[in-house]
Amino acid sequence: MSGERLLRWLGPVAAGLVILLLWHLIVVLNEIPHYILPSPLLVLRTLVEDWALLWRALLITLQVTGIALLLAVLLGSAISFLFVQSRAIEASLFPYAVVLQVTPIVAIAPLIIIWVREPLPALVICATVAAIFPVISSTTIGLRSVDPGLLDLFRLYGASRWQTLVRLRIPSAAPYFFAGLRIAAALALIGAVVAEFVAGTGGTRSGLAYQILMAGLQLNIPRLFAALLLITAAGIALFLLVSALSWLALRKWHESELAREK
Amino acid sequence: MKRLLAGIALFIAAFAPGAHALDKVVFLTNWYAQAEHGGFYQAVAEGIYEKHGLDVTVRMGGPQVNVLQLLLAERADFVMGYDIQVLQAVEQKLPVVTVGAVFQSDPVVLIAHPDVQKIEDLKTRTLLIGQASETTFWPWLKARFGFSDRQKRPYAFSVQQFLVDRKVAQQGYATSEPYIIEKAGIAPKVFLLAEYGYPPYAQTIVTLEKTVKQRPDLVRRFYRATAEGWKSYLANPAPGNALIKRDNPEMPDDAIAYGVATMKRYGLVDGGDAKTLGILAMTDARWKQTFDFMVGAGMLESGTAWRKAYTLEFVRQVKVLP
């Protein structure tokens, strides 16, 4: 058991180190200039040197991501509950949820910027639109995937609609909801970055997209990579956080989070 | 009675235009704050707009910000536009009109490695041309020098490819890319397309038709104060630069200084017709050239009411010589 756990940690770490070493060697041996491809060491050093700047930008991007994810969860779940109330509602509205999903955010962002005057809410709306679909889709499927036997049991005992929802439908939907949340978390982060590119906010209230754009234009490629590294790290942290939430909620009963002894 | 009169006087003073009330104006630029916007920031910093009864907010554009759309949605009173875009808007009967041109010539350049002697020699090179340029200067380059689509590859607004490939030339703006390339250790050959006859003005001031018709005085004051701002900026850019740095803190000082020096070297603001007609000057002849080029390149219907794209009203009324 403990050997297996060790492998689960050591494997990815070792693979990562080998790739970093290769990257470093390729850059150093070929004398690739830092404005084409910086070495991992230089990226790390830039990250430390520009920490104050990048950290502030990251916090703003994370702020947009966090609010957008929260909104996506609240609105997305509410919409799913609405959908499962009747097949007619779902049939009428679900296609539009799909429309929301497949519309490039770049195309509708200008409209959002015209209607919403403050930059922060505009960015949040863009990121929410990007993140909401997986929540709606998974939660709706979850709310529908109730064991028919259990549903009959609830009916047999005369459970109210409310009791069925809280005691049966929501617990059955939870695993699906958390699966959707993992995707939504990543999309909210990407949405927040893309929205900032589109909305063109700058100055002191600017997030990582602005830093990436400016670093690219000025050929400060090490800083660009450092900013990318921060976004990636934030994405992984977000994923771990959501996974932890999922584990906390499901560990007691659901197959996907149960530790099985072999 | 006396108190009533005093009250009425106060009331009139509070609502009468002029003396105390400043007209609120939002000006939207086409990019993050940079030297090319210096005159506007200078006019804010030096209180020139205020002197002309205007309370101006300069807002920054960005990579995907559609300034004409925001102008039409009345989210800005004036925006920084471009002749080709405005002519195409007029073709679609959108009520926008250019009132003045900050840049007497478009700062768009082709940048080549040092071994290239003439712009004509670029016929045999690979050219990195951005997607947006397909509808601006690329058709002009094809017609003027016989360049072909076969030698064109997309430009992603990074000079990295240019730096690694000696056979590549690329588009750019006189005020920015050449400097970045110089800093990376190559002294590039730079060809300003305007010097070969590329006709449009750039960094123009565009507003709505109804603003020109209903509030010509406001437009006139904005025009004059902006022209004075540019004159002041070219003389001493420090106050404007401080505001540029506030809005765009990642803009390095040396890049701003290079932008100012380039504007002076090519006379972008104070050259051409600006020398005699004043800063922000435009002429019918130049607009006709741009229109003719666009029609010839199939970018515009020949029946377009091109004269609606601009007005010389303010060029004639206000003359701020450089």
Strand partners, B192: B109
Residue B18: predicted pLDDT: 47
- For B180, the closest chain A residue by CA position comes to A218
Residue A262: predicted pLDDT: 47
For residue A17, the Cα-to-chain-centroid distance in whole angstroms is: 26
Query: Which residues have CB under 8 Å from A171's CB, separation 6+?
Result: none
Residue B245: predicted pLDDT: 94
Q: Are B240 and B29 in contact (CB under 8 A)?
A: no
Does the pLDDT value for residue A174 go beyond 50? Answer: yes
- Of chain B, the end-to-end C-alpha distance in Å amounts to 54
- Closest CB to B159: pick one of A114, A199, A219: A219
pLDDT string in tens for chain B (322-residue length): 555 555 555 444 445 444 568 999 999 999 889 999 999 999 999 999 999 999 999 999 887 788 898 899 898 999 999 999 999 999 999 999 999 999 999 999 999 999 999 999 999 999 999 888 888 999 999 999 999 999 999 888 889 899 989 999 999 999 989 999 999 899 999 999 999 999 999 999 999 999 999 999 999 999 999 999 999 999 999 999 999 999 998 889 999 999 999 999 999 999 999 999 999 999 999 999 999 999 998 899 999 999 999 999 999 999 999 9
CA atoms within 13 A on the CB side of B37: 27
CA distance linking residue A119 with residue A58, whole number of Å: 16
ipTM value for the complex: 0.71
Query: Helix B216-235 crosses helix B38-45 at what angle (to 10 degrees)?
Result: 100
Of residues A36 and A231, more confidence is placed in A231
Contact B176 A217 (CB under 8 A): yes
Residue A104: count other Cβ atoms within 10 Å of its Cβ. 10
At B310, give phi and psi (nearest 5°): -150, 165
Query: Any CB–CB contact under 8 A between A30 and chain B?
Result: no
List the 169-228 stretch of B: residues with Cβ below 8 A of A: 176, 180, 183-184
Query: Any CB–CB contact under 8 A between A114 and chain B?
Result: yes
Cα Rg of chain A, angstroms: 23
Q: Are B247 and B33 in contact (CB under 8 A)?
A: yes
- Closest CB to A106: pick one of B33, B64, B180: B64
Query: Any CB–CB contact under 8 A between A215 and chain B?
Result: yes
DSSP state of B170: E
- Closest CB to B75: pick one of A114, A210, A217: A114
Contact A217 B75 (CB under 8 A): no
Chain B residue numbers touching A199 (CB-CB < 8 A): 62, 64-65
Does the pLDDT value for residue A77 go beyond 80? Answer: yes
- For A195, the closest chain B residue by CA position comes to B64
Strand partners, B205: B80, B100
Chain A residue numbers touching B163 (CB-CB < 8 A): 33, 35-36
Q: Which two tokens stand for residue A243?
A: 């996974």
- For B172, the closest chain A residue by CA position comes to A217
Q: Which two tokens stand for residue A134?
A: 């997986």
Does the pLDDT value for residue A25 go beyond 90? Answer: yes
Q: What is the pLDDT of residues A232-249, one digit of tens each?
A: 999 999 999 999 999 888
- Give the confidence band of A91 by pLDDT, cuts at 50, 70, 90: confident
Chain B residue numbers touching A109 (CB-CB < 8 A): 64
Q: What is the pLDDT of residues A28-69, one digit of tens each?
A: 999 888 888 899 999 999 999 999 999 999 999 999 999 999
Contact B157 A109 (CB under 8 A): no
- For residues A205-217, give the mean pLDDT: 85
Contact A106 B183 (CB under 8 A): no
- Burial class (CB within 10 angstroms; exposed 0-12, middle 13-18, buried 19+) of B267: middle
**What does the mean pLDDT of chain A come to?**
87
Q: What's the Cα-to-Cα distance from A48 to each of A215, A224, A226, A232, B290, rounded to whole Å?
A: 16, 13, 9, 16, 50
Residue B254: predicted pLDDT: 94
Q: What is the pLDDT of residues A93-141, one digit of tens each?
A: 888 888 888 888 777 877 887 888 778 888 899 999 999 999 999 999 9
Residue B158: predicted pLDDT: 85
- Burial class (CB within 10 angstroms; exposed 0-12, middle 13-18, buried 19+) of B228: buried
- Identify the three-state secondary structure at position B301: coil
Chain B residue numbers touching A117 (CB-CB < 8 A): 75
Contact B32 A35 (CB under 8 A): no
Query: Which residues have CB under 8 Å from A231's CB, separation 6+?
Result: A58, A61, A189, A193, A208
Query: Any CB–CB contact under 8 A between A104 and chain B?
Result: no
C-alpha distance from A90 to closest chain B C-alpha (Å): 35
- Closest CB to A202: pick one of B62, B64, B183: B62
With a pLDDT cut of 90, the percent of chain A lying above it is 47
C-alpha distance from A34 to closest chain B C-alpha (Å): 10
CA distance linking residue B132 with residue B137, whole number of Å: 9
List the 252-281 stretch of B: residues with Cβ below 8 A of A: 252, 255
Residue B62: predicted pLDDT: 80
Q: Are B202 and B78 in contact (CB under 8 A)?
A: no
- Closest CB to B252: pick one of A199, A201, A218: A218
Query: Any CB–CB contact under 8 A between B75 and chain A?
Result: yes
Contacts from A102-109 at CB under 8 Å and sequence distance 24+?
A103/A129, A105/A129, A105/A130, A105/A191, A105/A194, A105/A195, A105/A198, A106/A194, A106/A198, A106/B64, A109/A195, A109/A198, A109/A199, A109/B64
Query: Any CB–CB contact under 8 A between A225 and chain B?
Result: no
Q: Which two tokens stand for residue A129?
A: 């639109």
pTM score? 0.82
Instruction: State which amino acid sits at residue B233.
Output: Y
